[in-house]
Amino acid sequence: MLRNYNYIYSKLVDEESDIIGHIAYSIYKKSKIEYIESKKLEGTSLTDAELIPFNDFSTSESAIESYKIKAELLMQGFLENVLDEELKNYKNQAINQQAQILKGIIKPLTSGFWGNVWSGVLSAFIFAILLAAIAFIIQFSGSTFSINVEKPQTKTEKH
């Protein structure tokens, strides 16, 4: 018995690298499987001759265009998902790299800052001890140390 081929593959796929055509062909095959399974549920076993109406419909220009449009929509959705994921990954990488760079910049500043604060406190403490020691020595050495501050005269007091 001679099989009835509809040559839809060559109508959907232009060349081996035609991804949209391959996706369109898989959509066609899915449609054909669903058609055959629906007939099986009705209790009908299809022959090649009984598939002719399906083949005629599926090879019409509108059906072929429909398969290609569905394939393009699937491909577009897939690409959008991939690009969204890649964009999220790049954003996360950029945020992480920026955080690492900022930590690298801030760490020397903060460690230097607190070191400077502690050295400032220590030097102020040493200076206060030195002033206290000098005041102690002057107080108990018997020397007098005085500062005279004169009040400026006003114009009325001069005459």
Per-residue pLDDT reduced to its tens digit, 77-123:
999 999 999 999 999 999 999 989 888 887 776 666 667 788 889 99
Contact 5, 58 (CB under 8 A): no
What's the chain's average pLDDT? 84
Inform me whether the pLDDT recorded for 55 exceeds 70. Answer: yes
Higher per-residue confidence, 91 vs 137: 91
Show the tokens assigned to 58: 């599926």
Q: Which helix (H) or strand (E) holds 133?
A: helix 61-140
Phi, psi dihedral angles at 45 (to 5 degrees): -100, 120
The amino acid occupying position 62 is: S
Contact 28, 58 (CB under 8 A): yes
Show the tokens assigned to 7: 């040559």
- Identify the pLDDT of residue 84: 95
Contact 27, 12 (CB under 8 A): no
